[in-house]
Structure 1
Amino acid sequence: MPGLEAGFAAHIAAGVTTLCHCWQVTRRDGAVFAFTDHDMPLRFGGVTFRADTGLSARALAQTSGLSVDNTEALGALCDDGIREDEIEQGRFDGADVQAWLVNWAEPSQRMLQFGGSIGELHRAGGSFRAELRGLTEPLNRPQGRVYQKPCSAVLGDGNCRFDLSEPGYAEERAVETVQDAQSFRWAGFSGFEENWFVRGRFDVIDGPAAGLWGMIKLDYFEDAQRVIELWEPIRGALPEGTRVRLTAGCDKRMETCRLKFNNLVNFQGFPDLPGEDWMMAVPRSDGANTGGSLR
């Protein structure tokens, strides 16, 4: 078999094999989970692959072109392995996945069968099903800039270049009153004008939901309290005293970039792009056709 280590190839060619599958999942926060469908734990590459997770895999589809390699991993939820609340919080979304075919009698003999990331992940009845996407999947995404009037950059990223650590653009506070993990209220929260945080980020700094974040939908005052509402609930517990960070929002308009952030030099939109009415322009029989309004 071309591409296989000689000892592993000889083992497979022998006909009677001692093979199993091993999976390693590395989340974006650095947490590593490793499983095997063998009946005993295995260790290689400095990682121990647990045998008591009930993890299995469906057939792997791979191609030589740019179409997406894909498969599914099936497994049982357990308290000290993949937990239901962590799936609900989205902590496994986009995690890196590697899958090996391993000689369990000699783990140094192995072959990497799959490398990619977790796509959609579902849970039901004490189990989970994870769609795995191959390394070619990002090649199917649109690349390059889009010509549009609003700014295409994300506030604070490499294209925007705005420094969000500047005073007045972020606020850290302890949770006081929260409803449904989506609506938050503070007394004495002044120093920022109303709607300052609309379209901004709401990041959880500590507590059970640390690392989770949401987008801010509304920012207003009501009954001497400041109210911050998110588009979707934070998928984790937020007890009183949990530290959160609110970051100012940007509506992508050139005026906002200039007046709110003083960052017009890095504006990534095309505000003078003609609108759809420009396509309806017709010749005029009188006067000058300057390209202005037809009315």
Structure 2
Amino acid sequence: MTTPASASPSNWALTFRALLRNRSAVIGGTITLVVLLGALLAPIIAPWDPLKFDPPNRLSGPSAEHWLGTDQYGRDLLSRVLYGARFSLSVAAVSVLAGLLVGGTLGLLAGYFRGWLDLTISRLADILIAYPAILLAIAFLAFLGGGFINLVLAISVVFVGPFIRVARAAVLTVREELYVEAGRAMGASDGRMIFRTILPNAAAPLIVEVTLRFAYAVLAEAALSFLGLGIQPPFPALGSMVSEGRAFLSLSPWGSLVPGSAIVLMVLGFNLLGDGLRDALDPRLRQR
């Protein structure tokens, strides 16, 4: 049986070259890489302890000592933003991965087997998507309490429905291809067809969805932390930093401006990267 075009090495090489020629992908990838490096290397590059109080320097603006200023307790904002980004990206990575594993697997099974299984899983996706995402996350956290694990659970549950939809739609398209029919005719098992044939050729929409869900996860974590439902002070979280800085906007805007700008930068990077991946992985857009 011949290798499908979408899964061939030469086609992936063309996709990678198209990605490098895409301005949005390059800019978004650069921003994302810088943010990831800053978060991963926070213990090394942070100039101050993010929890260290320095009352004489509280609410100060950018200076040679504190590049991005300090908050109401004199804590260095650059250090706190680096650690806050580290926490946000950790929550985003685990919640997106959990949503992909659960939602992607359910969508894969629904699209391949169809019938009553497809009907049941599709109705589950409809129920999850029907609830406003942030309200569903707030309800989970109000019931379970704050903390890293509960925050991840709340956000990942929100992502299960969209991942089911994307995976199911991709599989429904792939399963009608001739090479799938040929595999069935040759006696390939369902497991082999799903993991060796269907999944590699349905991966492109899921890859794009993952990058876009990263942006949503960062925003969701920031919103929940802003409302006081995320990790609790004094540990730095970007959303809670924005919330704490509101009371001192007239004295020093840096306490809210700096973490708010970090959130915007992360979301912008993931969105641009997702748009670039979508254009590079779609053969019709790539040919243009």
Regarding TM over 0.5, the answer is: no
Give the alignment's TM-score, normalised by structure 1: 0.25
Larger helix proportion, structure 1 or 2?
Answer: 2
Larger strand proportion, structure 1 or 2?
Answer: 1
Give the alignment's TM-score, normalised by structure 2: 0.25
RCO greater where, 1 or 2, for CA within 8 Å and sep 6 or more? 2
Computing the radius of gyration over CA atoms, which structure comes out larger, 1 or 2?
1
